Amino acid sequence: MSQLSVLLPLTGLLFLISSTIGSESSVPFPVNCVTRGADLTDDGMVILCPPDCTQWRVSVFGTGIYASVSSVCGAAVHSGVLRPSGGPVKVHRQPGRYNYMSSYAHGIQSQTLSHWSNSFTLTKPISIPLELTSDTSDTALPAGKGKKPVKKTVKKNLPVGNKECQMDIVIVMDSSSNIGQRRFNLQKNFINKLTATLKVGPTGPHIGLVQISDSPRTEFSLNNFTQPKDLALAIKELNYLGGDTNTGKAIMHTARTFFTQENGGRRGHPRVMMVLIDGWPSDDLDQAATVARDSGINVFMVSVAKPTPEELTFVRDKDFMKKTVCKDNGFFDYLIPSWFTTTKHIKPLTQRLCSLDGLLCSRTCYNSVNIGFLIDGSSSVGDPNFQLVLDFLAAIARSFDISDLGAHIGAVQFTYDQRLEFGLSDHHNKQDALNALKRITYMSGGTATGAAITYTAQNLFRRTGPGRNFLILVTDGQSYDDVANPAKEAQRLGITMYTVGVAWAPIDDLKAMASEPKDRHTFFTKEFTGLENLAPALVQGICRDFTEKN
């Protein structure tokens, strides 16, 4: 007779455990798409995978034999044991190994991994005694005759990460012959303490790692480990390489390949590269540093045990630190005297890596501006032309990287009255913001532009910053109130104003409202159909203003 018991929560799910004495069959344990092999406690467990795991960004390492940090359901689909529709699969524990190979199969791309402590393989279960369902609910099963009811258990919350430090951070560590095995181990301990302080998580910082040697070696990407314990184990497993200190090659490799969406880079999240170096580089860093800066990457150089006066004669470029960093202002270079004193430097270094305002290289016009649209909804516009205005504003918005940490847009429509259509923080991605623009309904009424400018300055723009706040006003006629003084007050509050006139909009009023220099911030077209041609010039103007003020 089978006896039911309850397994503690794993990866946020509750698993119903059943073992059948003297039989190979098992009641399948419901799991989700991101449940890993390491989360399963017993060898030969039969799990029940939900459908559509190929739609998730699951992490799978290996081919045939998978590292235990892999998604079990993702690996099952990759191996062909399971179809995308889900179902039962049997998991067999295996010892750890070196060189897990990558491959693409059944809609899932597995990744390489140099070494992991445990593995697993997968087979189809021989027989399943219960009717199967891919429902992964934690609701208790109904009590049957002769069976005890299963207790409803409580879900375990996994760390979500430090929400105040939502950076994509790649650590480029020194693994050259110059550092040696002993100091390499001290470096690993330092990195482990640093990442623990950063508090990685799905909504916090993501960490990737590259080793410096003769050729750069990627150890793991930004999306491989989003839980602290997994990241700590991955760092612990790193192997010392030796070879030359080709830091330039490592920086170039990281800048060109690491921050793509395919490798886990998140849109709108600042890009940070922290380069650890013991001594000095063997190659040139100039070109690699330029590529990194042009890619919007904030390069930090952390030098430990800098060259002695006698060693300086061997250093090819004594100013390599200043040339490599994002900006030579003292913020992006950091000196630690010895690997034995790194602990006291963890907190200040963490603060720098998480300083959103200090990360100058990631702050471009495309990901750092707040753009308000002030839209004339008066009767003279008409509904068909109003839709052309919305299309024009959407074309501007598409050029910017709209996200929680990136650019923001908001909109106000006005007649005699004003209506806040949506605020700068209401929509957290570009598509949602564009959909909100599309949904704006035409008001119809009079024209009080001055009052609308005052309303917008007070109700739309909350966040401040040098050259970050922009207001684009679109109108087709003359206002019934004063426009010059409200525009001056808005500009005094740090809002750069662009005016776009159509049809009967007076040029003098447009220039009175526009920021200096007036000609650069004033646009006009006779027909509403001409608005679409103005969008590129507006985007270029915003980026020019942002660059000049930052």
pLDDT tens string 171-185: 999 999 989 999 999
* 494-504: average pLDDT: 96
DSSP H or E run through 336: strand 333-336
Q: Are residues 495 and 379 in the same domain?
A: yes
For 494, the 3-state DSSP assignment is coil
Q: How far apart are CA 331 and CA 125, in angstroms?
A: 57
Residue-level pLDDT at 107: 79
Q: How far apart are CA 147 and CA 16, in angstroms?
A: 14
Both ends of the chain: CA-CA distance in Å? 74
pLDDT digits (tens, 9 = 90+) for 106-131: 878 888 887 888 899 999 887 544 33
Q: What percent of the chain has pLDDT over 90?
A: 53
Specify if 134 maps to a domain.
Answer: no
Residue-level pLDDT at 25: 41
Specify if 163 maps to a domain.
Answer: no
pLDDT digits (tens, 9 = 90+) for 207-245: 999 999 999 999 999 988 888 998 999 999 999 999 999
Q: Are residues 344 and 235 in the same domain?
A: yes
Specify if 9 maps to a domain.
Answer: no
- Evaluate whether 298 touches 326 at the Cβ level (below 8 Å): yes
DSSP H or E run through 411: strand 408-414
* 438-454: average pLDDT: 96
Q: Are residues 353 and 405 in the same domain?
A: no
Q: How far apart are CA 325 and CA 328, in angstroms?
A: 6
* Residue finishing a domain among 123, 148, 180: 123
Specify if 22 maps to a domain.
Answer: no
Specify if 540 maps to a domain.
Answer: yes
Q: Are residues 41 and 100 in the same domain?
A: yes
* Residue finishing a domain among 299, 329, 358: 358
Average pLDDT, the chain: 85
Q: Are residues 353 and 472 in the same domain?
A: no
Give the pair of three-digit tokens for residue 470.
């922009």
Q: Are residues 533 and 404 in the same domain?
A: yes
Specify if 85 maps to a domain.
Answer: yes
* Residue finishing a domain among 358, 378, 396: 358
Q: Are residues 210 and 345 in the same domain?
A: yes
Q: How far apart are CA 49 and CA 47, in angstroms?
A: 6
pLDDT digits (tens, 9 = 90+) for 345-366: 999 999 999 998 888 888 778 8
Q: Are residues 255 and 353 in the same domain?
A: yes
Q: Residue 445's domain is classified under what CATH number?
A: 3.40.50.410
Burial of 275 (0-12, 13-18, 19+ CB in 10 A): buried
Q: Are residues 382 and 449 in the same domain?
A: yes
Q: How far apart are CA 8 and CA 42, in angstroms?
A: 13
- Evaluate whether 392 touches 432 at the Cβ level (below 8 Å): no
DSSP H or E run through 234: helix 228-236
- Residues of the domain holding 422: 369-549
Give the pair of three-digit tokens for residue 384.
């068909």
Specify if 15 maps to a domain.
Answer: no
Number of domains in the chain: 3
Residue-level pLDDT at 33: 86
Bridge partners (DSSP) listed for residue 71: 36
Check residues 335 and 428 and name the one with the higher pLDDT. 335
Q: Are residues 344 and 228 in the same domain?
A: yes
Q: How many CB atoms lie within 10 A of CB 311?
A: 11
For CA atoms 126, 129, 135, 138, the dihedral sign is negative
Q: What pTM value is reported for the model?
A: 0.56
Check residues 279 and 393 and name the one with the higher pLDDT. 393
Q: Are residues 350 and 376 in the same domain?
A: no
Specify if 324 maps to a domain.
Answer: yes
Q: Are residues 174 and 285 in the same domain?
A: yes
Phi and psi for 46 in degrees, rounded to 5? -105, 120
Residue-level pLDDT at 310: 67
